[in-house]
Amino acid sequence: MKPIKVGLLGLGTVGSGTFNVLKRNQEEIMRRAGRSIEITMVAVRNVERAREITKGEVEIVTDGNLVVNHPDIDIVIELIGGSGIAKDL
């Protein structure tokens, strides 16, 4: 069965925590959901910091619309906060 592909919008304090929890708990998520998850893309403002967090495991973009509109991403998790760009996306 194909994995559930996840995109993240934001990789700050909450976003990086979410990224780490999802990566750390992949086996448990697969056991409970019956499918694995794969974080495939993140949208951020600070690309260098995102590279440090993701260790090159995912595609990093600066335009959240690329994540939202990507045809292969099944779930988008908005972790930006606030009501500006987060609301627009």
* Residue extents of the structural domains in the chain: 4-88
Calpha distance 34→27 (Å, rounded): 10
pLDDT, position 84: 62
Calpha distance 72→69 (Å, rounded): 9
Q: What angle do CA 64, 34, 73 make, to 5 degrees?
A: 15
Fold designation for 4-88:
Rossmann fold (3.40.50)
Calpha distance 89→86 (Å, rounded): 5
Split the chain (89 residues) into runs of 10 and give each run's mean pLDDT. Answer: 95 95 96 96 95 95 97 96 60
pLDDT, position 87: 54
Task: Give the strand pairing for 59-61 and 75-78.
Answer: unpaired
